[in-house]
A and B are shown apart, each in its own frame.
Chain A
Amino acid sequence: MPERFGLKDVVVLSAVALLGVIVLLKMWQDDRVWDKLEALQTELQTQREMIASLANTPPPPPFNPVSQSTETADPRQDTSWSVSGVELTWLTPPAHPNDPRALPGFRDGGTLTEAIEGNPARFTPYLYDTSYGQRIVDLVCEPLVVRDFETLQDRAALAVAYQSDPDGMWCRVHLDPGARFSDGSPVTSEDVRWTFHEFVMHPALGAERWRDALGVIERVDVIDERTCEFRFIAPDFRNLEAALRMLSVLPKHVYAPLTIKEVTDSSGLLVGSGPFRLSTTGWSPGEPVVLVRNEFYNRPDAPIVDQLRFVTITDKGARLEAIRNSEVDIARPTASQLDSWSRDPALARDHKLIAWENARSGFTFMTWNCESELFNDARVRLAMTMLLDRERIVRDLYNGLGSACTGPFSTRTGQGDPAIEPMHYDIDGARSLLAQSGWTDHDGDGSIENKNGEPFVFTYMHAAGSISGPRLGAYLQDQCAAVGIECRVEAVEFGAFLDAVRTGSYDAASFKWRRSSLETDPHQLWHSTSPDNMSRWRSPLADELIDRGRSTADPIARRAVWHELHRLIHDKQPVTFLVNTNDLRIVHERIANVHAYAGGLDISEMFEGAR
């Protein structure tokens, strides 16, 4: 029987069509509301900028100079807050190392987009767990003192001056009277106290790492509205670093009304006084992070671009295609990617290819298990270092982007001793040292044995998925074979790899380590009591130097101690330091005033040229 188009079909089709029209009308109506909201937001932003400009404008001179408040006067004239008889350090205001305003084509405003490799899960201060989270927090929140990108010297941030106890037990800080949070409210010493005692140190907040790092501070006292004093538990070189440069100050009036659960469950609860602020209040993971210029940030190093965007691109090839497409302006390439782009004239012309040694750049090293019978003799470890041609490793494994490393400290910051030269590549010297320690070819089979006739066989372990690990392993195998050592290479899943190193169930392993601060604490890697002493090297002299260095307040005297430790580690080679790795970036040509400094790239001084 033929199927006919009946009344029922007409009704159904009409209902579907009506539904479609209603949905379309609803969308249209929503867009009209959207337009109204957008206009309202623009109006609010204009008013916000007007308020900020009013707040940043110096008030007219007072009629009666006697009644002039300390807030309106040059803060340098007021020392009433200070402890008499203790040296007072006035901080230089921050500035762009290369002033963009003097450059041709300078343009205020615009947008800069950076590709990041991973999804930041959150950037609530002190709760973020990735380097991307830290990067975003550092742009929105400020500590009391910052480092100059070029000279690495202290510059004023929230503090304009401080005093430090010669015995290292306290530090008094005077805040900038003009400092404002991004909502326009002033930064006070109560905000500093509250951030430390009631936010970071709150036991229910999952900020254990920060509590550990800031644990050298015993308490923060409010002296007056603009002055606070840090009291330390004991003299320690980390005291000033913790108090002045690590504690990012949060607005009490924003965070205090929230419960710890609300803070803990948040992903992007971020308000500060830094050069940028979040563009929206409700960010959730997976969305691009958009920061906008903080109108209340009025220091000379205020950013030039209006907007800073972070876009997650996980695939390394896609990151480079995105920069080629002008979808992003800054991306981090691999060494081989940078190398291949530098060989392409068109790409090299249209982009800035930057490789430089940041003072916080990492280093790679091969750690020897000093508790094993093979590597407990320093002569064997020295021989292993002499077997490795580090110039060749830099050239072949890192595309020439790096330099031979001599120790755990950066020589750029002065913590490392620049007089220490990398140990020379010397196979004959290595053979001789191995012979001195009892490893010779007794039976003429080409392999070296100890006095019991046991051959020298060890396993080099690297994390599975590592790019350089297998190549380094192949090179190590060849070099060991040249002196009669059998090296086996094993790739181990990352968790199991770390577990094996932590429990000492390994012979040799390679690592990359990033320096957490300009002056690093050697305790974690080298003190015999540290659970993270991967090489399991236990030296009473090193322990004594570390303890002495940590408790020495005078930076000059402390530097001498670190140099001595550097020399000791170099002489004993518990690990073979391989390469000081470079930081790498590709920046689109349209972004101007891009300079690589010891402190990194100063994103605030860059500006957008013609696209």
Chain B
Amino acid sequence: MRRTTPIPALVIRRVLAAAVTMLVLTFAVFTFVELSPQADPFIDGAHAASPEPEPALPVRYLRWLGGMSPITFSADAPIGLRVPDLGHSASRGRPVADVIAPALGVTLALNALALVLIYICAIPTGILAGARRGGWFDVLSGGAVVALWAMPTMWAGVLAIGFLASDAHLGWFPIAGVHDADAASFRFLPSFADAGGFRRGYLLDTLWHIALPVACLAYGGFAILAKQTRASVMENLHADHVRTAIAKGADRSGVLRRHVVRNSLVPIITLTGALIPQLVSGSVVVEQIFSIPGMGTLVLDAVMRRDTDLLMANVVVIGGITILALLLADIAVRLADPRTGDEA
């Protein structure tokens, strides 16, 4: 009989593995950034002679890591906790935490909405296609899914702006940003002005602005998840217990709901762990096309300006989000199906 690890032990094991992954990741990025040439020697005073020779690269990395650590060691209290110091952004002259905080909020909101959209659209599509294999819906959705899968985000973004946002065609959506320039003066909810004109309000305005970026972020994940759901549903439809139930005359839709769909959800939950890194990396492109001030824009900016602290903090935050998502997916799978082995 296969032995499964209890959830607390699983979490501890995964957290330790995540810590090692983060160390390797941050050291690799730190090395690349430190060894790359100066971005703009003509304006940033790169010619100024350094008063002291710089320590070796591993020492610099350990110093940076020391600043990042949430654990402190001192004579008074052997071990203490503190808020990690993400450093100071050289290109913006401000603490990195202050720079990242607003951008992180925007990116998380976009990705969370995209994730919800992916699941809302992909699961019914996959179930319908799998349950009616070979039918017109299966054929049509299969073709659409493959087309979406193959479409680069950059191209999709440009097409969306050109056809859906430009007044030369449909002009249904705004072109850039997350809300109107006047949004700060909007009421939160939609309303009608005294003269009878409709006012969107802050909430609707924001949703209207982020509709295209969220769609661009979501369509790739939708394609993957819909395909996976279809495959999973088809596999479960052929399971012995399902065929027995149908053979005994049980209601087909009831069998589908109680046995097929429930069992098909496990691989779908597993897939969340893979979707989140894809969404975060997709944000870089989408935020650039739609001029959204999120983490993607910040990463590009940090790379272009060789802002080590800002770039490293981005790597830590994005890496942390990805590892956390994988951990949560593992726990969710274990909760959904306690029989799952440690390799889940």
B42 and A498 form a contact (CB under 8 A): yes
- In the complex, what's the smallest C-beta–C-beta distance from B16 to chain A, in angstroms? 36
- Counting chain B CB atoms within 10 Å of each CB, the highest count among A127, A208, A288, A494 belongs to A288
A48 at the interface (CB under 8 A from B): no
B126 near A: Cβ within 8 Å?
A: no
State whether the Cβ of B43 lies closer than 8 Å to any Cβ in chain A: yes
Are B176 and A322 in contact, with the CB atoms below 8 A?
A: yes
| Minimum C-beta distance from B210 to chain A (A) | 13
Interface mask (A10-41 → B, CB under 8 Å = 1, otherwise 0)? 00000000000000000110110011001000
A317 and B154 alpha carbons, distance in the complex (Å): 12
Cβ of B187 and Cβ of A265 under 8 Å apart? no
Contacts of A498 in B (CB 8 A): 37-42
Contact in complex: A499, B47 (CB < 8 Å): no
Please tell me which one of the listed residues A28, A265, A494, A532 contacts residue B39 in the complex, with CB atoms under 8 A apart: A494
Check if A119 sits within 8 Å of B43, measured CB to CB. no
Residue of A265, A288, A324 near B95 (CB, 8 A) is: A265
In the complex, the answer to whether B293 meets A285 with C-beta atoms within 8 Å is yes
- Determine the residue in chain B with the shortest Cβ distance to A513: B42
> Which residue of B165, B189, B191, B297 contacts A314 across the interface (Cβ within 8 Å)?
B297
Q: Given the complex, which residues of B lie within 8 Å of A311, measured CB to CB?
A: 176-177, 181, 291
Whether B177 and A312, one on each chain, are in contact in the complex, defined by CB atoms closer than 8 angstroms, is: yes
Chain B residues contacting A31 (CB-CB under 8 Å) are 187-189, 191, 201
Known: A317-B162, A495-B39, A498-B40. A285 touches B171 (CB 8 A): no
CA A208 to CA B177, docked complex, whole Å: 33
A312 pairs with B293, CB closer than 8 A = yes
Chain A residues with CB under 8 A of B91: 121, 129
Which residues in B have their C-beta under 8 angstroms from that of A531? 47
Docked complex Cα distance between A286 and B99 (Å): 10
Contact of B37 among A287, A318, A496 (CB under 8 A): A496
* A559 lies within 8 A of chain B by Cβ: no
Query: Is A517 at the interface (CB under 8 A from chain B)?
Result: no
Closest chain B CB from A492 CB (angstroms): 10
Interface membership of A113, Cβ < 8 A: yes
Q: Which residues of chain B from 54 to 107 have any CB-CB distance to chain A below 8 Å in the complex?
A: 91-95, 98-99, 102-103, 106
Known contacts A317-B161, A531-B47; A119 and B189 CB within 8 A of each other = no
Say yes or no: A325-B175 contact (C-beta < 8 A), given A31-B187, A267-B94, A318-B161.
Answer: yes
Q: Which residues of A are found within 8 Å of B188, using beta-carbon distances? A: 27, 30-31, 34
For residue A203, give the distance in angstroms from its CB to the closest CB of chain B: 14
Q: Are B293 and A286 in contact (CB under 8 A)?
A: yes
A314 with B45: CB separation less than 8 A: no
Decide: A324 and B94 in contact? CB cutoff 8 A.
no
Chain A residue at minimal CB-CB distance from B157:
A315
Minimal beta-carbon separation of B87 from chain A (angstroms) = 13
CB contacts (< 8 Å) of B94 on chain A: these are 122, 264-265, 267
Please tell me if the beta carbons of A119 and B181 are within 8 angstroms of each other in the complex: no
Q: Across the interface, do A317 and B158 meet the contact criterion of CB distance under 8 Å?
A: yes
CB of A57 within 8 Å of the partner chain? no
Which residues of B159-196 are within 8 A (CB) of A? 161-162, 165-168, 171, 174-178, 181-182, 184-185, 187-189, 191
User: What separation, in Å, do the CA atoms of A496 and B37 have in the docked complex?
Assistant: 5
Contact of B288 among A280, A290, A314 (CB under 8 A): A314
- Cα distance, A312 to B294, chains bound together (Å): 13
Q: Chain B: which residue is nearest A498 at the CB level?
A: B41
Check if B289 is an interface residue, CB within 8 A of chain A.
yes
Contacts of A532 in B (CB 8 A): 42
Q: Which residues of A contact B337 (CB under 8 A)?
A: none
Q: Which residue of the partner chain, among B47, B103, B161, B191, contacts A315 with CB atoms under 8 Å?
A: B161
Q: A314-B288, A318-B161, A325-B171 are known contacts. Are A127 and B93 too (CB-CB below 8 A)?
A: yes
Are B161 and A321 interface neighbours, CB within 8 A? yes
A572 interface residue, CB < 8 Å from B?
A: no
Cβ distance B190 to chain A, nearest Cβ, rounded Å: 10
- Residue contact B102 to A285, C-beta cutoff 8 Å: yes
Interface 1/0 per residue, B267-303 and A, CB below 8 Å: 0000000000000000000001111010001000100
The yes or no answer to B50 lying at the interface (CB within 8 A) is no
Contact A318 B290 (CB under 8 A): yes
Bound Cα distance from A324 to B168, whole angstroms: 8
Contact indicator per residue, chain A 313-347, by CB within 8 Å of chain B (1) or not (0): 11101100110111100000000000000000000
B181 near A495: Cβ-Cβ < 8 Å? no
- Interface: A349 (CB within 8 A): no
* Contact A313 to B176, CB < 8 A, known contacts A321-B165, A325-B165: yes
Least distance between B202 CB and chain A CB atoms (Å): 9
Q: Is B334 an interface residue (CB 8 A)?
A: no
Find out whether the CB atom of B162 lies under 8 angstroms from the CB atom of A321. Answer: yes
Are B176 and A285 within 8 A (Cβ)?
no
* Residues in chain A near residue B201, CB distance under 8 A: 31
- Known contacts A119-B301, A122-B94; A314/B291 CB under 8 A: yes
Cα distance A38–B94 in the bound complex, in angstroms: 32
How far is it, in angstroms, between the C-alpha of A496 and the C-alpha of B177 when the chains are bound? 32
Residues on the A chain within 8 Å of B230, using CB: none
B38 touches A499 (CB 8 A): yes
Asked whether B306 is an interface residue with its Cβ less than 8 Å from the other chain, the reply is: yes
Chain A residue nearest to B89 in the complex (CB): A121
Mask: chain B, 300-328; 1 = CB below 8 Å from A; 0 = not? 01001010000000000000000000000
CB proximity to B under 8 Å, residues A205-249: 206, 208-209
* A107 contacts the other chain (CB 8 A): no
Chain B residue nearest to A41 in the complex (CB): B185
- What string of 1s and 0s marks CB contacts (under 8 Å) between B193-211 and chain A? 0000000010000000000
Which A residues form the contact surface with B (CB < 8 A)? Answer: 27-28, 30-31, 34-35, 38, 113, 119, 121-122, 127, 129, 206, 208-209, 264-265, 267, 280, 284-288, 290, 309, 311-315, 317-318, 321-322, 324-327, 493-496, 498-499, 502, 531-532
Chosen A-B contacts, 9 in total, with CB atoms closer than 8 Å, are A30-B188, A287-B293, A288-B177, A315-B161, A318-B176, A326-B167, A327-B174, A493-B37, A494-B304
- B residues near A (Cβ < 8 Å) are 36-43, 45-47, 91-95, 98-99, 102-103, 106, 158, 161-162, 165-168, 171, 174-178, 181-182, 184-185, 187-189, 191, 201, 288-291, 293, 297, 301, 304, 306
